Homo-oligomer: A and B are copies of this chain.
Amino acid sequence: MSDTQTLESAQTETPEALVARLAKAGRAAQIALARMTTPQKAAALLAAAQALRAAEPAILEANAKDMAAGAARGLSGAMLDRLRLDAGRLAGIADAVAAVAGLPDPVGEVISQDERPNGLVLARVRVPVGLIGIIYESRPNVTADAAALCIGSGNAALLRGGSEAVHSNRAIHAAMVQGLVSAGVPEAAVQLMPTQDRAAVGAMLTAAGLIDMIVPRGGKSLVQRVQDDARVPVLAHLDGICHTYVHSAADPDMALSIAVNAKMRRTGICGSMETLLLDAAFPGSVAVVQALLDKGCELRGDARARALDPRILPASEADWDTEYLDAILSVAVVDGLEAGIDHIARHSSHHTDAIITADAAAAEEFLQRVDSAIVMVNASTQFADGGEFGLGAEIGIATGRLHARGPVALEGLTTYKWQVRGTGQVRP
């Protein structure tokens, strides 16, 4: 079906009917995809990467249209930068797709196996989740990244990108599908929503039984809307209010270098530190806050933190629950491990929280008791990333409590089934 035909039929059906039609096609494609072997899926991903490289002129031309429209609409410089593709960025996108081909395939992995006294042999085996909906904003690379992770894990993808990137997304999608189809993947394994109608997003969110899981990729307002409205399970994080607690037994140099890195390496990522908890008994606090201030970070502290340096501004109650995503940091002085854990329990968004300490018992206590998707000892919270965790990529970071937590890649896009092998057993 051509893009034009799809658009026409999309205009004559309700958003719910559109989603149902796409989901049905996606599910049928997924059943075929689930039967493909690991080498077949890898070959398809390499073909998709090659097709992206070959389509460079068309993709950059489409992107130029989006950039022109974005500039005319007055998008901010940061948004235009997120939208922008060039030969180097596109090559990076293609390389990322090819890299997924080299990751271990979780599908078919035997999670556990057991033989019962009656001779039944039970195995839990990983299978794809099914049809994954991805709802994202202006970054066109998500089109390729998300599709590659879904295909690599045997899932079909239904993509819905932001309207500002519509031409870029269509061009990237067309190239990828061409590559995938040339390697035997059904066309509907990766579908791009043919309309920018916002009602279609609502229809995706409520398509329980049709779409198996939704992954939102974008800013807080997008994630919030998806979490509020979805009747389909959502894999996401809303906030990354990450803490670093500097214990009394922390090495002062280590505390300083980790605190500066956790906040200032990149301030706009979800794993950046937003609150620094300094133990009252830690001797190096002045040096840590001075280093942060000298790097240009605004510090907002409680009364005891402000006593460390006159440049520290007063923190309001809201600061302890704020994800700045900027060169701003809240700082509190706490009395001991218990108080540090307690502050984190009250204010963490359960994304990533860290302790800096040379005391192994304190470290283990922190690791055991802090109830976040990622808990760290003596490391920068900026390591909260699928690539850094050795997953090769990530579809996102999840702070929910079920299914998958922390960085989610291929394995998080699978579930399992029980296979039971008998020899005629009946239940007494």
Contacts and interface: CB of A to CB of B under 8 A. Distances in A.
A23 B375 CA distance: 24
A295 interface: no
Interface in A402-424: 402-403, 405-407, 415-424
A233 B402 contact: yes
A120 interface: yes
Given A380-B427, A388-B427, A389-B122, A373 B114 contact: no
A424 B379 contact: yes
A402 B402 contact: yes
Contacts of A369: 31, 34-35
Nearest to A131: B401
A265 interface: yes
A320 B241 CA distance: 51
A390 B122 contact: yes
Interface string A110-139: 000010100010100001011000000000
A337 B114 CA distance: 27
A258 interface: yes
A245 B415 CA distance: 24
Interface string A339-354: 0000001000000000
A298 interface: no
A401 B261 CA distance: 39
A254 interface: yes
A85 interface: no
A6 interface: no
Chain A interface residue number, banded: 35 or more
Indicate how many identical chains form the complex: 2
A345 B427 contact: no
B383 A120 contact: yes
Given A127-B371, A417-B372, A390 B114 contact: yes
A426 B265 contact: yes
Contacts of A120: 379, 383, 388
Contact of A405 (B257, B401, B405, B415): B415
Contacts of A427: 261, 265, 380, 382-383, 388
Q: Indicate the member of A120, A233, A405 with the most B CB atoms within 10 Å.
A: A120
Nearest to A122: B389
Nearest to A341: B31
A64 interface: no
Interface string A288-316: 00000000000000000000000000000
A419 B416 CA distance: 24
A245 to B, nearest CB: 14
Contacts of A390: 114, 116, 122
Contacts of A405: 415-418
Contacts of A426: 257-258, 260-262, 265, 379-380, 382
A37 to B, nearest CB: 11
A378 interface: yes
A33 interface: no
5 contacts: A114-B389, A120-B379, A375-B418, A379-B422, A383-B427
Given A373-B418, A376-B422, A382-B426, 20 more contacts: A35-B369, A116-B388, A116-B389, A212-B402, A251-B424, A258-B425, A258-B426, A260-B426, A375-B417, A375-B419, A376-B419, A377-B419, A377-B422, A378-B425, A379-B421, A382-B427, A383-B420, A383-B425, A402-B402, A403-B415
Task: Identify the 7 closest CB pairs spanning chains A and B, nearest first.
Answer: A379-B422, A261-B426, A376-B420, A382-B427, A254-B424, A378-B422, A402-B403
